[in-house]
Each structure stands twice: as C-alpha cells, then as structure tokens.
Amino acid sequence: MENKRRRRESFIDWLLMLGVFALCEFQAEGNKTSQQEPTHMGKKPEEPQIPQGHHRLESKFIAVGTSHSLFNFTIIYTIDDVQVCAYNKGNKQTVFSEAWIAKALEKDFIEHKKEFNLNAEKSFRWLLNLLKNDTKSDKNHTIQLYGECELDNDIPIGSQIQFAVDGEDFIKTDDTTDHWIVTKPEAESFRMIVESTGFNMRKKTIKYHCADIIRKILKHSNLKENVAPEVTVSRHDVSDGRVSFNCTATGFYPRSIMMRWEKGGQLGVWGHESSSGTLPNADSTFYLQITLELPPGDSGAGYACVVEHDKLQAPAVHPVPEKPTERRPWVLALGLLTAVILVLSCSGAFIMWNKKTGQKTLEHATVGDERSL
C-alpha cells in the first residue's frame, strides 16, 4: 500500500514537473547563457522588446504505448497557432519549421532541447509502465500533456497546464482560483500534493519564462506575414421588431484584434453582446465574430462595427446596413400587375410580328413559284 502511494505521488510530481518544464525548458539554457554575457559599464544589456499584441505559446506531449513498448511519442511547440518545432520518436530529432527560428534560438538552446526531448521520451515510457501497475492492465494507453501561456503587450494574462489519460481529462490548472481542478475521481488524492509542490513553481515559470520564449523568437521576425482582416457586417430584422447585427473578421494574422460596436461614433452598451472568441483557420490565420442584439424599440440606425488590427493603420469603421425599405401591400400588387401587363404586351407584339413575318414569307414564296412557271 505504501509503495502504491509513493508511485502515485511520483506520478503526479513527474507530471507537474513535465508540464512546467514544457514551458520553461524552452528558455532555460538560453537564460543561463545570457547571464554569462559581458556587460557594459556594469549594466546588463537591454533585452529586446517583445512585439506588441497578443501572443500564445503552446506545448503538446502525446505518448501511445504499453508497459512493454512506446509506439509513438510526439512533442509539438507552437506560437500563435503556428508550429515552431516538433520532436518525433521515429527520428529522435527536433525539427524546426523555419531555419531562422533555429538561428534565433541559438546553438545552446538546440542542444539543450535535444537532451530534454530524449529524457521526456524516457519519462513517458516510465509513465506507461506506472499505468499498468495502477490499472492492473497491459492494454494500450495514451498520455497527453498540454501547456499554454498567453501574453498581451508583454503582460501575462493566462496560463494552463492540463493532463489527460486515455482521452479523458485527469487534472488541470485553474487561473481564476489559483488551484488545480480534478476531473477524474481518482485524481482527488493527488490534488493537495500538486498544489503544495507545484503552484509557486508554475506561477514563476509563467512570469519569467513565457515572455522570454516568445521574445527570443519574435524579436527576429513574425512567424508569418501580417494579414489584415476581411470584415463583413450583416443585419437581421425579425417580424416582431427585434434587430440583431453580426460582424465577422476572418483571414487575419497575428491573432490580436479588437472589435466593438459604436452608435453615432460613440462607444457604449447598446444591447446584448456575444462573441465566438478568436478561432484559428486552417491556414494559420484567425477568425472572430461578434453579435449585438438590440433591445425592443431600437430601430438599429447609426450603428457600426469598428475593427482594430496590427495590419490596419487606423481603426476601420464598417457601418451596419440600413433596414430594408418596407413596401405596402397595394404597392407590391400594383408592381406585380404592371409586370404582368408588360409581359403580356411584349408577348402580343411578338405574336403579331411573327404572323406578319410568316405572311410575307409565304407571299414571297408564292410569287417565286409563279415566276418559275
């Protein structure tokens, strides 16, 4: 019993450390190197500033196997949903998506990362064997680890570490309460261990390393060219008088974007607002839709969707279409009658013309026959 308890404690400790290092090891060796660099006049060289806007770093670890064999093991690192580098068990190499990214991270980092990825593979083999001891089964298992941190203009605004076993959430962090959330009953006994040993380290990691990772890469160049959003605004009028607007921006990069509703050029709360959240497109650009439902009695006149993005030199104002003009029933009936009369008139004229043309053709043919006689 004591051995099983220790195994589980080791299991959670290792998961926590792996989740933390999935974020901080990205920069650890680079930090050590930078600390050894010479300074001028006793001052440390000024760090390059991170590009303005919203950025997100993600790390994903996926292992599939049994206690006897690790079938597949993959590590993927992305910034702003664009892959930075990946490690695969098959070739045991860390492959960077662009040569300049490897250059930006420098040789020390690359060598350190190779060692870290190999050690992570060994650790996942040990985890699969531990699952056999806990589940009394030698079936295939899948272990997933996900780490994420976000910055807005160099300010950390959120982070997450999440573990899953066989496709089911196991335990994850909660930024709003600074606690870990248990998503499987058997993980409850591990929660106190994780919180007591891991929270401060996780918090420090996000504070000191997440920005460093993004800065180290993006100080050289964006991962892809900036693209301005394509914006469409639509209006929906319901027969009971309710009005709603949709404003959609798509195809933009980087991820950071601001969209809001204005009336008469003024910002305010005009009704019930909702948002799809910023979502990735298949081409690594992004998509966002916001909706505004007006209260009864608001005609919907004078509204506009305002969009701000790094690629735009100034906020773009997109007016909401005006309400379609309502036509009275008698006006519609008169228009329909006019159209019918016009069609019938054209048809009658065509029939008369066709008859005259046919008659002339027949007379011409008759005259020709008489002359031939």
What are the residue ranges of CATH 2.60.40.10 in the chain? Answer: 230-319
Closest among 235, 211, 195 to 48, alpha carbons compared:
211
Span 194-240, pLDDT tens digits? 666 544 555 555 555 677 778 888 888 878 888 999 999 999 988 88
Q: Which two tokens stand for residue 23?
A: 């974020």
Determine how β-strand 141-152 pairs with β-strand 93-96.
unpaired
Q: How confident is the model at residue 36 (pLDDT cuts 50, 70, 90)?
A: very low
Query: Is 3.30.450.20 the CATH classification of the domain at 2-36+46-218?
Result: no
Q: How far is CA 206 from CA 19, 20, 48, 120, 126, in A?
A: 11, 9, 19, 20, 27
**94 or 4, greater pLDDT:** 94
- Across 92-96, 189-193, 257-261, which has the greatest mean pLDDT? 257-261
Torsion-angle region of residue 266: left (phi > 0), alpha (psi -120 to 50) or beta? Answer: beta
Mean pLDDT throughout 89-110? 85
- Across 142-156, 285-299, 351-365, which has the greatest mean pLDDT? 285-299
Span 65-87, pLDDT tens digits? 987 888 999 999 998 888 898 99
**215 or 313, greater pLDDT:** 313
What is the C-alpha to C-alpha distance for residues 364 and 100, in angstroms, rounded to an integer?
86
User: What does pLDDT average to over the chain?
Assistant: 75
Span 328-340, pLDDT tens digits? 455 556 666 666 6
| Residue 25 and residue 113 in contact, taking contact as beta carbons nearer than 8 Å | yes
What are the residue ranges of CATH 3.30.500.10 in the chain? Answer: 2-36+46-218
The answer on pLDDT for 290 being more than 60 is yes
pTM over 0.75: no
pLDDT of residue 64: 93
CB environment 252-281: b (16+ within 10 A), e (fewer): bbbbbbebbbbbeeeeeebbeeeeeebeee
CATH match for 230-319 among 3.40.50.280, 3.90.1150.10, 2.60.40.10, 3.30.465.10: 2.60.40.10
